[in-house]
Structure 1
């Protein structure tokens, strides 16, 4: 499990081979919201087109996720993290505007190697 206190904005997007995670930074006021960033990260981790990923609404309400992080990256007064499993991947969305996705233990997602 990732330590939330050590997570701040990365200002980048990509695969981290050391941790086998995929990171997406988002700004809800510009980038389509947290749900869009989740789909981007899952697409990279699973090596699937966004339309080939299990629907996000199967595990949570995408509009509620976007509303929770609507103030944009780094602007929240609260430290919030939402974690869930989808399409064989573990996903965590942070109030700092970062989404981190990795293949679940025993999951069937294929990681995209950068």
Structure 2
């Protein structure tokens, strides 16, 4: 599925971590307060919300130091997989969600079958 912007969080008036929760709630058709365990994993299982918010605050601060009319304003985005979506948060505050297909999901928790040297693990 193609990415779709979430208009409810495009103003940038909420921290990015909250914008992610709002985007998930809007896409899933639930209240923001329902995006919590046990129905949803905590956001901190995939990204540190405080660090994400601090990153974008620092970008915002830096943008405020850019001379008016300059095109040197910082541009950043963070992409994270959460609750079956690929979520992109942009420095202008907008959030895009794309549904992950079964083959797109990260395999970080699956054993690789080798040790840190790359040699197969023998049992």
What TM-score, normalized to structure 2?
0.58
Q: Whose Rg is larger?
A: 2
Q: Greater helix share, 1 or 2?
A: 2
CA offset at residue 19 of structure 1? 3.9
Give the Cα–Cα distance (whole angstroms) in 2 for the partners of residues 85 and 20 of structure 1.
13
Question: What's 1:55 paired with?
Answer: 42
Give the Cα–Cα distance (whole angstroms) in 2 for the partners of residues 41 and 65 of structure 1.
16
> For 1:78-104, what per-residue CA distance to the aligned partner results, in whole angstroms no more than 9, with x for missing partners?
111100100111100001111111211
Backbone CA RMSD of aligned residues: 2.6
4+ long deviations beyond 6 Å? none
Q: Greater strand share, 1 or 2?
A: 1
- Structure 2 stretches lacking a partner, 5+ long: 67-72, 104-123
> For 1:9-54, what per-residue CA distance to the aligned partner results, in whole angstroms no more than 9, with x for missing partners?
xxxxxxxxx9462413142xx42x0100000001122334222322
1:106/1:22 CA distance change after superposition, 3 Å = farther
What TM-score, normalized to structure 1?
0.62
